[in-house]
Structure 1
């Protein structure tokens, strides 16, 4: 499966694309995972936030398969809101979304680390990319989470070796 991957600010998405982005995140995070928090936040619309979107192209219609977002803070790029539609899980799509986000981070903020807040059961998944746990587990709306970090040097190595 070779999806069309785009990395765009929210302002470059059509109203329908924004709707699909939010619907996918709400369907998975709020309904499927029953995480009781406001999924849509101001970070989404910040001018420096980029949304990584994976589309399945089909004739005149494109189907949103998965999303992630990446944005800068003073000391790091933050990767988050990674979600894949249930029917596309297990296909390698999440890895493609992460690769695109990490490549964007490296190309735009090459001296910064990348951080994320992983659900505890996914630390091994993110560890395979080079992220390492930082600090202790913490509770985020009833779900154990772990902050993880990829150093700028690890990021450069990952991207420059072709993200294999």
Structure 2
């Protein structure tokens, strides 16, 4: 297993296809949530895509991009065969390491709030509806020495 992190421009066309296919398979098909999964944020030079590869196969991904309040974390998903293997922890650790020294924000699907709380995120606003799925804004404040 290897993790990579960088802008979309550093991925090959086939790797970009795998990234989008995994996200559409999980968010649009599996979760039955019809929305514009691919957005302009993906292609910004300041957006970092964390990808977990087994050989040439993409098994998981997440993205981080700067916002006024710090870094926004999202589009976090795993292929079904990678779930329960500890890969999610590896991707989260990479994201937290990348975001060290900055506040991190995310919009958690409501049932996943306890999952993200285990990584130091706290609810930071009211629940909201995103394409029919309740989401909770969350923040992980920078740890100051």
Shift of 1:6: 0.4
Give the aligned partner of residue 42 of structure 2: 44
Match in the other structure for 1:161:
none
Q: Pick from 87, 91, 101 the counterpart of residue 97 of structure 1.
A: 91
What corresponds to 1:6 in structure 2? 4
- Deviation string 1:86-132 (CA, Å, 9 cap, x unpaired) is 111011111111111111111xxx2x210000000000000000000
Secondary structure at the aligned position of 2:99 is classed as helix
Unpaired runs of 5+ in structure 2? Answer: none
1:55-113 deviation line (CA, Å, top 9, x unaligned) = 012xxxx211100000111221000000000111011111111111111111xxx2x21
**Higher percent of residues as helix:** 1
Q: Which runs of 4+ in 1 moved over 4 A?
A: none
Q: Which residue matches 1:152?
A: 142
| Cα root mean square deviation, aligned | 1.1
1:137: Cα distance to partner? 1.2
Number of equivalences? 145
Determine if the alignment matches structure 1 residue 80 to structure 2 residue 77: no
> Are 2:130 and 1:140 equivalent residues in the alignment?
yes
Please give the alpha-carbon distance, in whole angstroms, between the structure 2 residues aligned to 1:7 and 1:55: 11
Q: Which has the larger radius of gyration?
A: 1
Q: For 1:13-24, what aligned pairs fall within 5 Å after superposition?
A: 13-24=11-22
Of 114-123 and 91-100, deviating more is 91-100
Separation in structure 2 between the aligned mates of residue 121 and residue 55 of structure 1, nearest angstrom: 27
Q: Kindly indicate whether residue 118 of structure 2 is the aligned counterpart of residue 124 of structure 1.
A: no
Calculate the TM-score normalised by the size of structure 1: 0.86
Please name the residue that 2:63 is paired with: 69
